[in-house]
Amino acid sequence: MKPDDRRQAIMDVLMEAGTASVEELSFRFGVSKMTVHRDLDDLEQAGLLRKVHGGASIQSSPQFESDFRYREKIATSEKRRLGEYAATLVEPGQSVIIDDSSTAGAIAGFLKDIRPLTVITNNLGVITDLSGVPGMNLIALGGHYSKRFNGFFGVVTEEALRSLRADVAFLSSSAVEGTAAFHQDQEVVQIKRQMVKSANRKYLLVDHGKFGRSALHFLMGLEAFDAVLTGSEVSDGHARELGDAGVGLLRIDNQKIMEKA
């Protein structure tokens, strides 16, 4: 295991647990405490965690939470799982919309083998990821770049979307309360709404942590989506609530779908 891999792994541990001791990390990765200290210093330098006496804890200010570098890491395993499953909903030859979220972005990696394929996105991560994949028709949505979301937004984006039509769209939102999705940014909301309009089938991908939270702007009701994909970790209460409202919910297990409500 190389240093960089170990550091990534440390972040993964932190993302899960929120906090970890030097002792524990040292044992877990089979390296000295000194090495763990050096890793933590490095990661702290990069602004990814905060060292505390005895270990480290994850940065978690509100400002930090909405930073995409943070968001792209949290719940990585759940996101990968959702992404992997979502990719099975796509057939070769289709066109797919992917929004600016890191959750939807996780699909990109799994789409590389489904060719030919058209991918439409305003997500810079996805663009970088898929540019140069042979057999991949990559359509970028322009717009002004937002560092916070690592994507493109605005009238230009919206107009470009209006002239396009896709088979499937994969979106995410930062919060799900009751049977509606919410997002903290008006501009992002605009684009997501247009994406839904421009696609035949629509799926909302949200990790279980998003349930029961709210955000400033109403995005849309969940009934707008063909299905909501989330991790099996989601509480039965939330699952039932959606089921009662007639919203299709797919709880994705590590191996397969758990339940089709």
CA quadruple 127, 131, 135, 139: dihedral sign: positive
Q: Is 164 in the site for a copy of itself (CB under 8 A)?
A: yes
- For a copy of itself, which residue of 101, 102, 157, 173 counts as binding (CB under 8 A)? 157
For residues 228 and 226, give the distance between their C-alpha atoms in angstroms, rounded to a whole number: 7
For residues 169 and 213, give the distance between their C-alpha atoms in angstroms, rounded to a whole number: 23
User: What's the chain's length in residues?
Assistant: 261
- Binders of a copy of itself among residues 77 to 136 (CB under 8 A) are 122, 124, 127-128, 130-132, 134
- For DNA, which residue of 9, 13, 31, 258 counts as binding (CB under 7 A)? 31
Residue with smaller CB distance to a copy of itself, 83 or 143: 143
Q: Is 53 in the site for DNA (CB under 7 A)?
A: yes
- Which residue, 217, 224, 230, is CA-closest to 246? 224
Would you call 30 helix, strand, or coil by DSSP?
coil
- For DNA, which residue of 30, 62, 132, 134 counts as binding (CB under 7 A)? 30
Size of interface with DNA, in residues (CB under 7 A) = 21
Q: Is 46 in the site for a copy of itself (CB under 8 A)?
A: no
- Angle subtended at Cα 203 by Cα 198 and Cα 208, rounded to the nearest 5 degrees: 145
- Which residue, 16, 42, 13, 15, is CA-closest to 25? 13
- For DNA, which residue of 17, 33, 88, 186 counts as binding (CB under 7 A)? 33
| Contact partner, 33, from a copy of itself, DNA, none, Cβ < 5-8 Å per class | DNA
Q: Is 243 in the site for DNA (CB under 7 A)?
A: no
Residue with smaller CB distance to a copy of itself, 118 or 214: 118
The answer to whether residues 96 and 118 touch, using CB atoms and an 8 Å cutoff, is yes
